[in-house]
Amino acid sequence: MFISGGSYKEIKASFQWNIPNNFNMGVVCCDDWASKEPERTALIKWREGKPLETHSYGQLRAESNRLANALSKLGVNSGDRVAIILPQCFETAVAHIAIYKLGAIAVPLARLFGVDAIEYRLNNSEAVAVLTDDAGSAKVLEIADKLGHLKHLVTTGNGRRSAIRWEKIKHAASEKFEAAPTSPDTAALIIFTSGTTGPPKGALHGHRVLAGHIPGVQVHHEFLPQAGDIGWTPADWAWAGGLLNILMPCLFLGVPVVFGGLDRFDPEKAFQIISEAKVTNAFIPPTALRLMTTVENPGARFDLKLRTIGSGGESLGIETYEWAKKELGLCINEFYGQTECNLILSSFGKLGVSRPGTIGKPVPGHEVAVINKEGQICVPGERGEIAVKRPDPVMFLEYWRNPEATEEKFIGDWMTTGDQCVVDEDGYFVFVGRDDDIISYAGYRVGPGEIEDCLVSHPSVKFAVAVGKPDKLRGEIIKAYIVFVDNVDETPELIEEIRLHAKSRMSANIYPREIEVVGEIPLTTTGKIIRRVFRDRARVEAQRGPS
């Protein structure tokens, strides 16, 4: 299932999946390497002004085995859900590998999530344990009485109230652990993705999802691994992009992964990390790349060893593409996917598969097309919806305990994406836009439902609608239109209070940047918000610019 030499056409024609019947993500990303080369570097910690700190596959095996034994002793069994609320750190990689080897299901959650977002996801997944730090445990303890399934809260910090210290349970556990027998279809991972209506849905993936990502990673990183390759991303490892585009594939392929030093994205520091850690292969979302274009003369100021840059999650734009060629001497390989079925289209600059303004061609191993509403493949130049044909190892198993939503995702054997696209005469996919209400903010795909529910939870807000407003830097920003309850007057102080209410309860980076009070919000005859009215309004505002 690996990409090797040849032309794009030859590779695509000859590619075959070869996933063993016994396949465990934790084993293939850790134990397989540790048994052969225990001293091989798996992770590299970067800290400003300090030497690089390396962690070997042997360390990763020992620590993940200890944690797997500790969780088992706490009563965590195969199939149980274990949430992870941690930043990029050694413990995060250990947690994922331990959970997979245990046969449990990892539920990564962004550490920027507020208590409302965490509460919903923990309850929906019925997580029995949370692995976090003191900041995360404080949020979980705030809502502990609402979490009916949670039994254990484990923290890497000093511990708070009923939280268990990671170090304490780890040191009491053995370094030897026999991984649970798992198949490619055994459930391994739930990543929540927001929809257009209703609450977020958990995309359930099997262990096969890692294998499904390998061709796409090798394509946009141009035959990864090569001698000396080192991977890095500023993306949160709780996001599919950070976890499945860099961390797990690189560990699987024996490529060290750099982490640390970038709690808040800083373009200057990003170049510093890339330079000092000798990063060769980076996944950088378009918004971060656009911020990096503001750094003056990076190619001359930093000792860069970059070989490839992959980018996806939102449209890259021709300006950023051309900047990278001029300033870095690199062709950014733009790719496309969704949490449900990631890394299915990609550019491949080394083989000449690259065209500004497109999201590439199908990655070998994936059957991707643009289809109409009847499920028929569109002719070149005809607009339709991007769809992926099943079976496909990178495709989700189902929406967690939501068979209706799972069924609605398919037209026959085509998994639909909701993304409108056109295939040109040369087979390149040209992204047109969403056909629903998903907001693409700085690489995150955000559903409006959660934001609206959070806004309405403020006592002054009667109705709310959230839409994406075009933004040159971030792709879109989140704009909310709200209706006040009776007898409430608009003041700048109240608007800021509502914004902070949403920011504190939802996420520190996913909240309305703009809030506007309106007289009414139009609804359909069935009571659904007509978001199109506000999408159009926000688009006009963006075109008009600041008043």
| Residue 403: C-alpha distances to residues 173, 407, 409, 422 (Å) | 39, 6, 10, 30
How many Cβ atoms from other residues are within 10 Å of residue 294's Cβ?
10
Give the CA angle between residues 37, 40, 45 to the nearest 5°. 155
CA–CA separation, 258 vs 43, rounded Å? 6
Classified by CATH at the fold level, domain 439-544 comes out as GMP Synthetase; Chain A, domain 3 (3.30.300)
**How would DSSP label each residue in 199-248?**
S-EEEEEETHHHHHHHHHHHHHTTSS--TT--EE-SS-TTSHHHIIIIIH
Bridge partner list, 43: 55, 257
Tokens linked to 261: 């030093």
Q: Same fold for the domain at 57-204 and the one at 439-544? A: no
3-state secondary structure of 40: coil
Phi, psi of 399 (to 5 degrees): -80, 130
Q: Is residue 439 predicted with pLDDT exceeding 70?
A: yes
Which position has the token pair 């305990």?
401
3-state secondary structure of 470: strand
Q: Is residue 445 predicted with pLDDT exceeding 80?
A: no
3-state secondary structure of 298: helix
Length of the chain counted residue by residue? 547
Q: Are 190 and 106 in contact (CB under 8 A)?
A: yes
CB-neighbour burial class of residue 114 (10 A; exposed 0-12, middle 13-18, buried 19+): buried
Tokens linked to 128: 């029995």
Instruction: Give percent above pLDDT 70 in the chain.
Output: 95
Q: Is residue 507 predicted with pLDDT exceeding 90?
A: no
3-state secondary structure of 423: strand
More confident site: 441 or 103: 103
Amino acid in the structure at residue 380: P
99 — pLDDT class (breaks 50, 70, 90): very high
Q: Where are the domains of the chain?
A: 57-204, 439-544
**57-204 — its CATH code?**
3.40.50.980
pTM of the model: 0.84
What pLDDT score does 373 carry? Answer: 93
Q: What tens digit of pLDDT does each residue of 134-191 get?
A: 999 999 999 999 999 999 999 999 876 778 999 999 888 999 999 999 999 999 999 9
What pLDDT score does 62 carry? Answer: 98
Amino acid in the structure at residue 306: L
CA–CA separation, 113 vs 468, rounded Å? 19
What pLDDT score does 533 carry? Answer: 87
More confident site: 117 or 194: 117
Tokens linked to 80: 């149980």
Q: What tens digit of pLDDT does each residue of 398-438 get?
A: 999 999 999 999 999 999 998 889 999 999 999 876 656 66
How many Cβ atoms from other residues are within 10 Å of residue 526's Cβ?
5
Average pLDDT, the chain: 92
3-state secondary structure of 8: helix
* All residues at 6 or more sequence positions from 145 whose CB lies less than 8 Å from its CB, including other chains: none
3-state secondary structure 434-462: ECCCCEEECCEEECHHHHHHHHHCCCCEE
How many Cβ atoms from other residues are within 10 Å of residue 434's Cβ?
18
What pLDDT score does 193 carry? Answer: 84
Whether a cis peptide bond, with omega within 30° of 0, leads into 225 is yes
Q: What tens digit of pLDDT does each residue of 192-236 get?
A: 986 444 578 999 999 999 999 999 999 999 999 999 999 999 999
Across 83-97, 183-197, 206-220, 297-311, least confident range = 183-197
